[in-house]
């Protein structure tokens, strides 16, 4: 069997080998809660081994990326995460579809292609307005379900050869969309080359991705994991697309995942003007020194400080004969457990989704995953909310636990203890 991961040897955007570690991070498990471990690897330690997660800066183009590439077949062919399961995401996609129609005005019957289309939630909004749609997603089970639900979806990885096939069978696309996908691609140049045969001459590529500046400034540590290879700034993106015959014509800051950008790209010289947001954001990135090592030092220090405070809370609970649990099971939970040195210190995890695995596994550990109803049965002294963006609704549903003297700890963007 081929290795499940490999070290990154060159920049994902410009392919330079001038990579420097700017944020040292603890390794995290290869297998995450977003996909089902293949049957042949179930129960085997190699599936749950820890892979390096250091953040590296390309000193040639300024792109921020992780130090390790996980085998995409292992990651995505058995993907189980669905768009519809994320609170508010379908409504966000409705707004995105409206924005694309407003800004780019695809005509009825024109083709819209989504790369990483998952369960087809976004494409449904275009289909309902008369556009033809094609989805591309390597998660075979989810692709079959989307196709059965009326969203034709190819269970393939996107590349230039597949782009040619789609164009030959459907014509060229007025709009190509990729949401939270491009950051997961280990060869962005090959991805961009795939746009050439697929995109109509005056078509646009629209994608959303985590904004690297928000990850660093807002300490969005739970969005840093092995699936996310890239944390994009606008300047390196603009340079990348220019080198392939495209231009970034618009960048919107959006709140998704704590801080993201929506980027619109067209062929060089196409009809749409460049929005002021593009040079404006690039100038801000340069002014704030986002392409030098010093920018990342405060982030690394904050991670260390939060880990120390959380461990002090665990120490205090254990001295009183109590234990600490966690709330929320996701790939971000795996990151936070390891970065905050909480592995072996959290006795159990609670999660609202009954379809989650019975344990969160990693190298040498298997933490039980329990339903929210078990909070009162287990009576932890404190619960760290790893799903920290949803702290308010989680706490609102657990008032009986608080009434018994329990407390919640919200770890990000700073440690806050909540008793109501």
Read out DSSP for 329-372? -SHHHHHHHHHTT-TTTEEEEE-S-TTS-SEEEETTEEEEEE-G
Confidence (pLDDT) at 83: 59
3-state helix, strand, coil in the chain (%, to 5): 40, 25, 35
* Residue ranges of the chain whose pLDDT lies below 70: 1-2, 33-45, 74-87
Asked if 268 and 303 sit in the same domain, the reply is no
CB 324 within 8 A of CB 383: yes
Do 284 and 367 have their domain in common?
no
Phi, psi of 147 (to 5 degrees): -60, -45
Give pLDDT, residue 39.
60
Q: Within a domain: residue 69?
A: no
Q: How many Cα atoms within 13 Å fall on the side-chain side of residue 9?
A: 2
Q: In this predicted structure, what is the pLDDT of residue 31?
A: 76
Q: Are residues 265 and 127 in the same domain?
A: yes
* 3-class SS of residue 199: strand
**Amino acid 41: pLDDT:** 58
Q: Report helix, strand or coil for 290.
A: coil
Q: What would the two tokens of residue 225 be? A: 């994991």
Distances (CA, A) of 134 to 131, 181, 208, 267, 404: 10, 16, 18, 21, 53
Tell me the β-bridge partners of 50: 29
Domain closes at, from 226, 259, 292: 292
Q: What angle do CA 154, 177, 116 make, to 5 degrees?
A: 40
Query: What's the structural domain count of the chain?
Result: 2
Nearest to 53, CA basis, from 179, 209, 188, 231: 231
Give the span between the Cα atoms of 28 and 225, in whole angstroms.
8
Do 400 and 351 fall into the same domain? yes
385 in the same domain as 323:
yes
In a domain, 64, yes or no: no
pTM of the model: 0.92
- Give the number of residues written for the chain: 420
pLDDT at 353: 87
- Domain span at 313: 295-418
Distance CA 137, CA 127 (A): 17
Q: What is the largest CA-CA distance in the chain?
A: 68
pLDDT of residue 1: 56
Domain shared by 223 and 367, yes or no: no
Per-residue pLDDT at 355? 80
């Amino acid at each position: 069997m081929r290795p499940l991961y490999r070290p990154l040897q060159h920049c994902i955007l410009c392919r330079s080998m001038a990579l420097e570690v700017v944020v040292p991070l603890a390794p995290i498990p290869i297998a995450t809660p977003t996909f089902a471990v293949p049957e042949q690897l179930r129960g085997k330690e190699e599936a749950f081994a820890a892979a390096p997660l250091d953040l590296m800066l390309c000193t040639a183009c300024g792109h921020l990326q992780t130090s390790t590439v996980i085998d995409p077949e292992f990651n995505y062919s058995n993907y189980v995460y669905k768009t519809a399961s994320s609170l508010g995401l379908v409504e966000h996609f409705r707004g995105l579809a409206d924005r694309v129609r407003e800004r780019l005005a695809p005509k009825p019957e024109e083709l819209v292609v989504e790369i990483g289309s998952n369960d087809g939630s976004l494409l449904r909004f275009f289909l309902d307005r008369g556009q033809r749609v094609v989805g591309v997603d390597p998660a075979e089970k989810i692709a079959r379900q989307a196709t059965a639900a009326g969203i034709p979806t190819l269970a393939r990885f996107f590349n230039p050869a597949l782009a040619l096939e789609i164009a030959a069978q459907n014509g060229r696309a007025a709009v190509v969309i990729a949401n939270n996908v491009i950051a997961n691609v280990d060869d962005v140049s090959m991805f961009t080359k795939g746009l050439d045969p697929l995109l109509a001459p005056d078509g646009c590529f629209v994608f959303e991705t985590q904004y690297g500046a928000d990850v660093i400034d807002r300490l969005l540590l739970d969005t840093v994991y092995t699936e996310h290879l890239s944390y994009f700034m606008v300047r390196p993106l603009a340079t990348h697309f220019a080198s392939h015959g495209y231009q970034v014509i618009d960048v919107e800051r959006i709140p998704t995942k704590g801080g993201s950008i929506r980027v619109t790209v067209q062929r060089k010289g196409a009809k749409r003007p460049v929005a002021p947001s593009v040079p404006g954001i690039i100038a801000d990135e340069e002014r704030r020194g986002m392409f030098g090592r010093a920018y990342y030092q405060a982030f690394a220090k904050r991670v260390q400080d939060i880990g120390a405070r959380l461990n002090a809370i665990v120490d205090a609970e254990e001295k009183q004969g109590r234990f600490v649990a966690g709330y929320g099971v996701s790939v971000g939970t795996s990151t936070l457990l390891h970065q905050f040195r909480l592995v072996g210190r959290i006795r159990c995890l609670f999660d609202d989704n009954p379809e989650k695995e019975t344990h969160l596994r990693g190298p040498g550990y298997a933490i039980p995953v329990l339903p929210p109803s078990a909070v009162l049965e287990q009576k932890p002294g404190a619960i760290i909310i790893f799903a920290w963006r949803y702290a308010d609704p989680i706490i609102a549903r657990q008032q009986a636990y608080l009434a018994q003297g329990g407390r919640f700890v919200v770890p990000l963007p700073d440690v806050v203890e909540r008793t109501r």
